[in-house]
Amino acid sequence: MDILETIVADKKRELLLVKQQFSIAELERDPVFSRPTISLRENLAGSSTAGIIAEFKRKSPSRGKINENADPVKVSRGYVQAGANGLSVLTDTKYFAGCREDLMGVREANECPVLRKDFMIDEYQVLEARAWGADVILLIAAVLEKEKVRDLSALARSLGLEVLLEVHEESELDVLNENIDIVGVNNRDLKRMITDVNTSLALSEKIPADFLKISESGISDAGTIRRLIDQGYAGFLIGEYFMQHENPAEACRELIEGL
């Protein structure tokens, strides 16, 4: 198995245990479950800055340890003060050292769109995202069948959540449907862990105009962002570049000011 298949297999085993700990009824009873959500799509479309989605990430399979001792609340507040239009929080524990408490803390501390970044394969995870305070969920085309994308995105829409569909090659655009709000091109090939921003440039004209598009991974300078803006990209998800700095929020501020 490649790394992506391994992660999904582990996620399925993890879900079997988690579902025994928290029932769907418990998730739905959480006060946060019914809170009004904030639109990432609208924030990006109306942005007068660079459309930065700043990510909190402690580690990754490709990089290993990045910033293990960082405080998600402190970092996320700094991101917002620096001008980020949205926040992304990793909640996978085994491979990214994230957890639900990270997302819940970030939600409580900030009034801006928050993306739950995880390997979403089951309806239960969509309900979790709503109960934890997310405004947006990530669906990765490479790990989901077309019908599963439809089912999960329809559930998200019914709960008031937006959906970011992540692709990294043209064939994956086939799973798009009316419940998708944003298409994110991941410049990192999740199977080979190779990063190339030209992936976003190559796919820019392939994405239907109905969908707002963002570029993810491998972005670290204003020049690259300007090239992507010229290709119609409205948002840029950046995590590793910020988190490798001692002060991630200051790195975010410097990048935005450079634009």
Average per-residue pLDDT for the chain? 95
Whether 3 shows a pLDDT value over 90: the answer reads no
Checking if the pLDDT of 107 tops 70, the result is yes
Total count of domains within the chain = 1
Specify whether 162 is catalytic: no
Out of 128, 162, 172, 216, pick the active-site residue. Answer: 216
Residue 217 known to be catalytic: yes
Catalytic residue among 153, 186, 187, 200: 186
Q: What is the pLDDT of residues 167-210, one digit of tens each?
A: 999 999 999 999 999 999 999 876 667 789 999 999 999 999 99
Q: What is the pLDDT of residues 200-246, one digit of tens each?
A: 999 999 999 999 999 999 999 999 999 999 999 999 999 999 999 99
Active site residue 43: no
pLDDT of residue 1: 66
The pTM score is: 0.96
Q: What CATH number is associated with residue 113?
A: 3.20.20.70
Model confidence at 50, in pLDDT bands (50, 70, 90)? confident
* Residues present in the chain in total: 259
Instruction: Print the domain residue range for 197.
Output: 3-258
pLDDT at 43 (0 to 100)? 95
Is 117 among the residues known to form the active site?
Answer: yes
The whole-number average pLDDT for the span 85-98 is 97
Give the separation between CA 134 and CA 105, rounded to whole angstroms: 11
